Structure 1
Amino acid sequence: MKLAGLAMASPAAAARILDQAAAEAMEFTRQAEATSLGSGTLDHLDFAVTEFNRAYSLKPPKAVFDAVMDYRRKVAALLAGRHTHQQERELLTFAGWLSELLAWLAHDLGDARTGLAFATDAFVHGQQAGHGRLCAWAMDAAASINLYEQRPGKARNAALKGLSEAAVPHPLTVRLHAQAARAAAADGDADGFTTAFRAAEDAYGILPPRSPRRFGLDVLPLADYALTSYSATSFIWLGQAEQARQYAEQALATYESAPEASRSPSREAIARIDLALAHALLGDSDAAVALGHQALDSTRVVDSVRHRAGDLTAFLARRHPGREAVETLRERLVAVGAAARAVTAAPAHEPEEGVT
């Protein structure tokens, strides 16, 4: 109203009004730039998230979970503080990436409920940040967790939800189509599997020559793993043993030839179990038992590995009741599971301030 009266004000009064407006404009700018974040906070978070993702396959999941959870709480506190809109988007993104990693870690520790809760949290924070690819990665985790919980319909829905957010072309798109294919196989839908798997192959065929990176790591191997390992598992569930054997062998070769930074001991162990199940279906129980022991020799026998190893021992026990070699494998799996539960139940150490 003051400015509207400029035309009627004296020159001196008009000058005072404009001086006041200029001061208010500077205050508006100061408020827009006001923040309680330290100058290096966002750089530190970027480094932390990168290091946590690199540690994922190298360190025990319980230790990594505790450290990542500590950082997730810190980011929540930062979001509750004062920051610029641009900083808010970055904090939302970091919160989402930490929750996406916590979803996988909870899955590795055998807690599906917590894993799905963090996958949902990652998706929501990705949406708030306008980060569609983060949303898609979150649904990739949700699809896997639901599959291991024997909810193929929810797994497929998660994969499709991720595909609606994923960029094309991108290795993540391949993974999500392969997730949908694996969900169809788990549901006994051979035609649905074939359709989704062809979509995964088509998505793979249009990938650009230069592979994108995620926290400094090449993500193309994740598409390679999905096309081979997910297919092996799918053919097991569909009862097509020879196709399962071929894809499981391809998966193992892919895992073993991957750069050290991209190696995944737990996924490699699952590929060995798929190959073991294929041999068991084909009648070669000796090879199945040997591969089962190799899988349990892995440096990272997480819940998904133990779950699939349980499928193997149960099948072998039905096919060869009372056989000593099968019982020995089953007893070893029981011991491995007991040891893992003891570690998970152990009290956590106080989280460190830095990234280990």
Structure 2
Amino acid sequence: MSEVNGLLRDARERTPSRRAPGEHMSRAELAEAVCAWLWETTGVEYDLDGHYIAKLERGVVRWPGAAYRSGLRHVLKVATDNELGFSPGGGRIGPAELDLSASAVLGLERVLVEAGDESATMLSVAEESNVGDLTVEQLHADIHRVCQEYLRMPTKDLFLRSRSVRDRAFRLLTGRQSPGQSRELYTAAGWALIMLGWMSVDLGRPDLAENHTRTAWACAEAADHADLRAWVRATQHTAAFWQDDFSRAAEYAESGLQYATGSSRLFLASALAVDLARTGRIDQARTALTTAQRMPERYGEYELAGPLLCTPARAEGLWSDAHLALGRAGKTLEHAEHSMAEFEQAPPAHRNPGAERMVRLQQVKAHLELGQLDGALAALTSVIDTPAEFRVRPLIHRMSEVGAMTRTERYTSEPVAAEIQVAAREFIRKAAPRHRSRRRRAAPAAAKSA
């Protein structure tokens, strides 16, 4: 049986907790502090956890690696390894050290004692958690902020922040926590993965979005979170839609409706109408559109913001798209104008800059279908000033459709159509990233690490 390392345990219990005033440092907190110090001093990520600290305190491991020993000495404020009970050559007890003379059943008593000691040790492991309520709350707050700021601040910063939330959640999941805390961590990771998927679509890589959404679905299943499942399907729908795979997009939308309880239900029902119209299933599209328009406004227990919130204004923008695909330009214009009016009256938290710009282009296209060039130019004006960093790929795609409509024979000799065409071309040209090669030459190390 291993000899308990009381020196290490005593050193830990003498060290004040950095999280809970008046308490000593837990095994998980000690492991996290060591990993943080090693990251700061070496730039290398280590995966030390509370379970390994428990092994050290039980004496199962008597001589951990040099990095862990140095980290433990630093955090526990001791000068030598001996003060923590570490000695080279230590390890598991071998057969030669067993004393069987007092055992009437040839070692069974020792096995029983050993099993009892192990179970007692496992009690502290089972009760230990590397996650507090504030940690979970912070993860959710971070992803909520990403959603609120999406298309209001540069996408790269938000992408990195979402990836950080994903990584932190999965790193915490490798530790010890209650089942409820695990579900919360899976939920936070799922929302972060959804945002990574959504941003991948907007940055022109819907194929990569599917990698994020598959993992997000696994998180939603692990968390048993219905609306998370629904928004995963909504993101998968969006990735398929912007790959012109409207049939698969419709399948995702229909699947998501089985789980949706909040505003995701309105988004999926509205998106399904667009998908069906685009695939030429006219009667089904009309039925789906009617269903979406009759759907009551409903929000779930946990609604985010930005792309993961569907307000009536955003839904009307989708309805305008469905009507345009059904050849009803007048209805498109009607819903687009009503959508914009609702967006403009909504509180900031319910505004969606990306959706608003797309609805404006729906107005432009409807005006062009109806031969109303002045109306098209007026609607376009508020979009062409969009900063380059917010000219996401779907917006560029829609702008290219506007440009294509002005190049038809119908508008060959129309000066206003030519003006719209030039504006659309300039919008797309200025959205292209510049100075990329120069940045790579100037800082190859930074580019590689990014």
Smaller-chain TM-score range? 0.7 to 0.9
1:153: Cα distance to partner?
A: 0.6
Opposite residue 234 of structure 1, the aligned amino acid is A
1:110 to 1:257, Cα distance in 2 relative to 1, 3 A = same
How far apart in 2 are the matches of 1:296 and 1:132? 39
**Equivalent runs, 1:28-43 vs 2, <5 Å:** 28-37=122-131, 40-43=134-137
How far apart in 2 are the matches of 1:332 and 1:63? 29
Match of 1:85 in 2: 179
Deviates more, 1:173-182 or 1:66-75: 66-75
Opposite residue 407 of structure 2, the aligned amino acid is A
Relative contact order, higher structure (CA 8 A, sep 6+): 1
How far apart in 2 are the matches of 1:201 and 1:317? 34
1:26: Cα distance to partner?
A: 4.5
Question: Does the aligned pair in 2 maintain the 1:184–1:192 contact within 8 Å?
Answer: yes
Question: Does the aligned pair in 2 maintain the 1:61–1:108 contact within 8 Å?
Answer: no
Equivalent position to 2:163, from 47, 62, 69:
69
1:131: Cα distance to partner?
A: 0.9
How far apart in 1 are the matches of 2:429 and 2:176? 46
Match of 1:326 in 2: 417
Match of 1:3 in 2: none
1:245 to 1:70, Cα distance in 2 relative to 1, 3 A = same
How far apart in 2 are the matches of 1:243 and 1:27? 69
How far apart in 1 are the matches of 2:114 and 2:165? 44
Q: For structure 1, which runs of at least 5 residues remain unmatched after alignment?
A: 1-16, 351-356
Q: Name the structure with the higher helix share.
A: 1
How far apart in 2 are the matches of 1:344 and 1:122? 34
Match of 1:148 in 2: 242
Alignment partner of 1:59 is 2:153: yes
Match of 1:173 in 2: 265
Match of 1:233 in 2: 321
Equivalent position to 1:185, from 273, 277, 285:
277
How far apart in 1 are the matches of 2:285 and 2:161? 38
> If the length of structure 1 is used for normalisation, what is the TM-score?
0.81
Higher gyration radius (CA)? 2
Alignment partner of 1:124 is 2:212: no
Opposite residue 189 of structure 1, the aligned amino acid is R
How far apart in 1 are the matches of 2:256 and 2:159? 24
**Equivalent runs, 1:313-352 vs 2, <5 Å:** 313-318=403-408, 319-321=410-412, 323-342=414-433
Deviates more, 1:84-93 or 1:35-44: 35-44
The Cα offsets for residues 110-162 of structure 1, whole Å up to 9 and x where unpaired, read as 21112232222222211111112101011112212322221111111111111
How far apart in 2 are the matches of 1:223 and 1:79? 33
1:38 to 1:212, Cα distance in 2 relative to 1, 3 A = closer
The Cα offsets for residues 267-292 of structure 1, whole Å up to 9 and x where unpaired, read as 11111111111111111123213322
Match of 1:104 in 2: 198
1:261: Cα distance to partner?
A: 1.9
1:211: Cα distance to partner?
A: 7.0
Opposite residue 227 of structure 1, the aligned amino acid is A
Match of 1:296 in 2: 384
The Cα offsets for residues 64-84 of structure 1, whole Å up to 9 and x where unpaired, read as 112222332232333334444
Q: For structure 2, which runs of at least 5 residues remain unmatched after alignment?
A: 1-110
Question: Does the aligned pair in 1 maintain the 2:247–2:275 contact within 8 Å?
Answer: yes
Equivalent position to 1:214, from 303, 315, 319:
303
Opposite residue 393 of structure 2, the aligned amino acid is D
Equivalent position to 2:330, from 220, 236, 242:
242
Question: Does the aligned pair in 2 maintain the 1:273–1:308 contact within 8 Å?
Answer: yes
Match of 1:258 in 2: 346
Match of 1:135 in 2: 229
Match of 1:312 in 2: 402
